[in-house]
Amino acid sequence: MRIGTWLIATMLTVEWLNAQSAAQILDQTARTYSQMRSLRVQSRLTFSMRSSGQMGQMTTTTNANQLAMAMRPNLLRLETTEQGQLASGGKIRCDGKKLYIENAWLQQTLHKPAPKSLRELYTQQNLAEAGYMMLGLDPVYLMAWGDWRKMATSPRLLRRERVANRETYKIQVNLQVSGELLMPGMRVTQTVWIGVKDRLIWKSEIVISSSQAGNRITMRFTETFTRQEVNPNIQQSAFAYKLPEGFKLVESFEMPNLAGEVDRLKGQPAPDFTLKDLQGKEVRLADYKGKVVVLNIFAHWCGPCRAEAPELEKDIWRAFRHKDVVVLGVATWAHDNPSKRAQEFAKEFKLTFPVLVDAQNSVATQYKVQGVPTTFVIDKEGIIREVIVGADVERLKKTVETLLKPAADGGAL
């Protein structure tokens, strides 16, 4: 009994010392960054997402480079490039007088008076407007806020480990993520590698994992800091902003009407196309004239598409296939190997309706699709009668039922 009590006490003491040591290292790191007048950081980013379920797994990976420059009191430059082009994250520039937030997807740049401090600049709202997610501890965050405890809890010192040629402390923390980013069953952790000598962060890995209904999704953000310059002499011109060609300067972002272009197709003949199915056979839309066609355009990596797929199979295809209704799935916007991704998607969700491969994204362009999933309901005469942007199988079911009614009973939309 005494041995057991001693062992438990020893384990608790070791755990307490570990937490103290990890917290002390993080305190020293936060202090190091918070005392900087200026900072220039270059890093390599890798984002990977892996989903697995009963029918298999899918993995996608994106690589990018990031440049961050900050100088007190209120100068900031943040930009991400992917394969030599501007990534979807956009840019943030503050020249001390004006703040510019560039959103590459919208092709718009928001401008407003510059905040007075880095803390007011480096916020969740500003980063989100540019397309970034502020989830964890990074050099600019610690320079601006100087307190890791606002973002992280439960620090654990795992071990010492070498990153490049540096000896580092490997520390893991739990991240406090805002409620709107949380999903049931989600867990968010961050591991940071902190230099033993300089107390700078040289690597970071954020892992977001969620498990629901037998499906598990893991997102991993890995950032390796290739260069950090402490208190460099940065010219103020380095923070100047130039509006890219084709971009619009706005005082508030103007969100596009994703349904606007496709809505104009309602009442028009459905554009014909020919694509190959999963067996390599050519399928032409015109071949289905005389049937009600539910044309579902999706992407394998799209969360709403994945949630919608089993419902399309059960509530539309199986429910109406014997009533002159066909579901055509069109897999588009694949990052790599479109045929393989479409096959994996169909296998994972046990789809028995025809799935076609839009390898060149030609059908998505032809139908003016700007977001997935987008579903077109085409009547027996080949006229588009309904367009649904987003996953809404109940609305889709009602549309199909209406089209199947005799004209005298209100079958026309």
- Identify the active-site residue in 305, 309, 325, 356: 305
Greatest Cα pair distance in the chain: 88
Query: Is 302 known to be catalytic?
Result: no
End-to-end CA distance of the chain: 80
Other beta carbons within 10 angstroms of residue 55's beta carbon come to 14
What is the phi/psi pair of residue 293, to 5°?
-110, 125
User: Cβ neighbours of residue 413 under 8 Å, at least 6 residues apart?
Assistant: 379, 385, 386, 399, 402, 403
In single-letter form, the type of residue at position 364 comes to A
263-297 b/e (C-beta count within 10 Å ≥ 16 → b): eebeeeebeebebebbeeeebebeebeebbbbbbb
Q: Ramachandran region of residue 84, left (φ > 0), alpha (ψ -120 to 50) or beta?
A: left
Alpha helices in 321-392 (DSSP H): 338-348, 362-366
- Catalytic residue numbers read 305
